Structure 1
Amino acid sequence: MTTLVAQEQSRSLDGAEKVAAVLLALDREASQRILKYFDHDELREIARLAAGLGAVPATALEEIYSALIDEISHGGVDLVGNAAQAENLLTGVISEEQVADIMSDVRGSSNQFFWRRVCSLPEKTLADYLVNEHPQVIAIVITKVDPAYAARLLAQIPGPIRAKVMRRMLVSKPIAESVLRVVETTLQDDLFATSNAPSSAELNARVAGIINQLERDQVDEILEGISESEPLIAAQLKSLIFSFEDIVKLGQRARTIVFDQLPTDRVILALRGADAGVRDSVLPCLSTRTRRMVEAELSTDASPPKREIAAAQRQIADTVLRLADQGAIEIPKSGSAPDQPE
Structure 2
Amino acid sequence: MAKRYTLTKPQRAAAVLVAMGKTRASQLLKFFKSEELRVMIDAAHTLKNIPQPDLEELVKEFETEFTVGVGLMDSAESMEMILNEGLSDEERYALTGMSTETVDQEPEQTVWELLPKVDIDELNAFFAGESPQLCAVVLSRLNSRTSASIIEKLDPELRKATVARLLSSKPVPQSVIEVVEKRLDEAFNLSDQSASSGGEGASRLADILNEMKKDVSDDLLAQLAPVIGDRKVEGVKSKIFRFEDISSISKEARTLLCDGLSTDVLTLALREADGDLKEVILSSISQRTRRMIESELSAGKAKVSDIEQARKSIAALALRMAAEGRIELQAAA
TM-score range, shorter chain: 0.3 to 0.5
The structure with the larger Rg is 1
Output the TM-score relative to the length of structure 1: 0.39
Structure having greater relative contact order (Cα 8 Å, sep ≥ 6): 2
